[in-house]
Structure 1
Amino acid sequence: MIAIDNILISDEIVQEQFVCDLNKCKGGCCVDGDAGAPLNIEELQKLNEVYDAVLPYLPEESKTELKLQGKYVNNKEFGWVTPTIESKVCVYGVTDKNGIVKCGIEQAYNDGKIKWKKPISCHLFPIRIQQSKDKQTEYVNYEPREDLCSAACTLGKKLKVPVYVFLKDALVRNYGTEFYETLEATAQHLNTKP
């Protein structure tokens, strides 16, 4: 376990390798799960702000579900999450011509229509963040899905890309540059130990 201030980071984040292989997994993390993408309170307002710009990117089925369920829902187990269609694909998911599910929010961001990339839980995947009950500590864990992410684990090993390097942008977005530099220095120190 690596501790940076009140954040406890799993050793696997610096020891394991991971690079998404969308041609193999087809964006399954947007489809497979017990609920939609976890959202923090600030992200509810972000969804309200970007909604109209994101809507044109979404298929009709998603638009129908959004009218029925709303932009986000409260799940008893997971808290605020994005709605899903038939408890499967996220309503913000868009399937491209190759059958890969991508994020409609991120597509609007990439096109310069909005300034918010997507929920941080999606950007950080396969890292999952949990808060302690007293909200004083954050636990940052590496939790790839065994079947779904096997191709990403294989590609990461082949390319020798540690999880924290693959997710640099997301980690910097969530915790800042100083945190990332500390994590990187710690990882390099751990990797040079005899």
Structure 2
Amino acid sequence: MFQLGKTIVSEDILEKDFVCNLSACKGACCIDGDAGAPLEEAETRILEAIYPKVKPLLRQEGITAIEQQGLYIRSDDGELETPLIDGADCAFVVFDDQNVALCAIEQAYNKGEISWKKPVSCHLYPIRVKDYTEFSAVNYHRWQVCDDACTLGEALQIPVYQFVKEALIRKFGPDWYAELEKAAKSFLQP
């Protein structure tokens, strides 16, 4: 672990390789698990604003889940997250003609209908950020559904922090990312 500003960063994001391999995993991270995507407080207001543009892209099951649970829920431990369809798929999941799970929010963004890509927690994955009073912990989250992403990342030699560069800049800013790159160079030198 090392410190960058008000973050404590796991060295795993420098050492481990990762590149999403949707053709292999079919977007399993959006349909497996027992919780929705973590949300920041400000993102709940964004979801409320963009929902009319995203709703036409959703599956009926997603619309029903949102109508029953709301655009976001508060978990038992008090965390905000997206609702799930029958305890599995994120309510915002849609499928392409290859049965790959995609994010309806990101689809609306890609079509230019909204200016928000998706929840930052999704954009950052496989990095998870846990906010504490004095700092944020930036950790690599290893999940077996992403084994193919680890294999592809190793083959392409792309470390986690480079794969999620855009998301890290979105979350922490360009200056923070520049410091991360400096730390990576000194850390990874033989």
- The TM tier, using the shorter chain, reads over 0.9
2:101 aligned partner, one-letter code: V
Letter in 1 for 2:52: D
* Superposition pairs of residues 21-32 of structure 1, within 5 angstroms: 21-32=21-32
Report deviation, 1:77: 2.5
Query: Which structure 1 residue ranges, 4+ long, deviate > 6 Å from structure 2?
Result: none
Among residues 149, 163, 166, which one is paired with 2:146 in the alignment? Answer: 149
The match for 2:111 is 111
Classify the secondary structure of the residue corresponding to 2:47: helix
Q: Does 1:168 align with 2:168?
A: no
One-letter identity of the residue aligned with 1:149: C
With structure 2 as the length reference, what TM-score do the two structures score?
0.97
Q: What letter corresponds to residue 163 of structure 2 in structure 1?
A: F
SS of corresponding position for 1:129: strand
Matched, 1:190 2:179: no
Instruction: Check conservation: 1:8, 1:140, Cα contact below 8 A.
Output: yes
Matched residues in 1 for 2:115 and 2:152: separation?
30
CA distance in 1, matches of 2:180, 2:7: 11
Match of 1:87 in 2: 87
CA distance in 1, matches of 2:24, 2:86: 23
Q: Tell me the distance in 2 between the aligned counterparts of 1:20 and 1:78.
A: 29
With normalisation by structure 1, the TM-score equals 0.95
RMSD: 0.9
Per-residue CA distance 1:79-100 (angstroms, 9 max, x = gap): 1110000110000000111111
Whether the aligned pair in 2 keeps the contact of 1:35 and 1:78 (CA below 8 Å) is no
Q: Which amino acid aligns with 2:161?
A: Y
Structure 2: gaps (5+ residues): none
Q: d(CA) in 2 for partners of 1:40 and 1:105? A: 16
Identity value in percent? 43
